Amino acid sequence: MWEPSDTYPDPSIEVLDSRFQKYRLNNAGIELLATGIRYGEGPVWFGDGRYLLWSDIPNNRIMRWDEETGAVSVFRKPSGYANGNTRDRQGRLVSCEHGGRRVVRTEYGGTLTVLADRYDGKRLNSPNDVIVRRDGSVWFSDPDFGIQNDYEGFKSEPELPTHVYRLDPATGRLDAVIKDIQNPNGLCFSPDEALLYVVDNGSRPNRILVYEVNRDASLGQGRTFVDAGDLGLPDGIRCDMDGNVWAGWGSGPGLSGVMVFAPDGAAIGRIALPDRCANLCFGGLRRNRLFMVTGQCLFGLFVNTQGVGCP
């Protein structure tokens, strides 16, 4: 059973490089906010309602945690085995569904609109993670993890390679913008959206790649931003205001938790958690609260920076 640190500063928050020192609040520790999840993913903050949503994939539900009361409830079940979540520029929830093999938007009234479920006439694999750019375009990864078994979706054969896509919701146009990664996963933009970071779970070792985003939203040549080493397993990623990349990380002792990388790719900080962190997001009233989803738990930590991309 995980126990919070009874001393400050919390020894689970490690400064690997002096550049990380200013982001650690010496009087803040890791808090366990919720448990009882079968496999957590896709946290997204709703500042207007002061709550967090996140996916419990095998239980086919999206969960809700309320900041003011700490109450945990079911937001939606069935969720189509939802994985990654985000909000569009109008604040609407956008979700990746393994089950429906699609990306959906939840309208203000609660109905679902399918944004994408096919490319080139073939079914998507299992959309995993999603982000929305300031121009309204929806970018998502489509690995085949969610159709490899009947646990996090429905076992099936892929019909398509594992691309990263950009969708224009206004026209429905869907473009495959990265075609050479086997099983892309987490995505995030730099604060100025001039860079796109993409987790590559297909290469050995795993990598985080970075691409320049051109004026027409096409991508330059990808290059390695972080080499995850022998055992490192990156998943969901988010940028803070200074352009540091906070990455959910696994798997195993000394690896599980969150790794923080400076814009030059150097590892500057680490947050140790009892299990692999699949995904994370910033939220709270001042966007300075980091929410971290592990297999069975939701953890929170106040930090001395703010996330970008939070409506």
Binding site for Mg ion (CB under 5 A): 128-129, 185, 235
Closest approach, Cβ 84 to Mg ion, in A, equals 6
Closest approach, Cβ 235 to Mg ion, in A, equals 5
Distances (CA, A) of 123 to 155, 157, 248: 14, 10, 28
Residue among 206 and 288 whose Cβ is closer to Mg ion:
206
Residue among 143 and 269 whose Cβ is closer to Mg ion:
143
Is residue 174 packed enough to be buried (19+ CB in 10 Å), middle (13-18) or exposed (0-12)? buried
Residue among 188 and 271 whose Cβ is closer to Mg ion:
188
Q: State the DSSP string of the chain.
A: -----SSSS-TTEEESSGGGGGG--TT---EEEE---SSEEEEEEETTTTEEEEEETTTTEEEEEETTT--EEEEESS-SSEEEEEE-TT--EEEEETTTTEEEEE-TTS-EEEEESEETTEE------EEE-TTS-EEEE--SGGGSSSSSS-----SS---EEEEETTTTEEEEEE-S-SSEEEEEE-TTSSEEEEEE-SSSS-EEEEEEBPTTS-B---EEEEE-TTT-EEEEEEEBTT--EEEEEESSTTTSEEEEE-TTS-EEEEEE-SS-EEEEEEESTTS-EEEEEESS-EEEEE-SS-BSS--
Residue among 195 and 278 whose Cβ is closer to Mg ion:
278
Closest approach, Cβ 142 to Mg ion, in A, equals 11
Q: In the block, which residue shows the tokens 């919070």?
A: 4
Closest approach, Cβ 198 to Mg ion, in A, equals 11
Closest approach, Cβ 106 to Mg ion, in A, equals 19
Closest approach, Cβ 166 to Mg ion, in A, equals 18
User: Nearest Cα to 288, choosing from 241, 230, 254?
Assistant: 241
Instruction: List the structure tokens of 12.
Output: 């689970």
Closest approach, Cβ 42 to Mg ion, in A, equals 7
Closest approach, Cβ 188 to Mg ion, in A, equals 12
Residue among 235 and 275 whose Cβ is closer to Mg ion:
235
Q: How many helices (H) and strands (E) does the chain have?
A: 0, 27
Residue among 55 and 106 whose Cβ is closer to Mg ion:
55
Residue among 233 and 268 whose Cβ is closer to Mg ion:
233
Residue among 82 and 177 whose Cβ is closer to Mg ion:
82
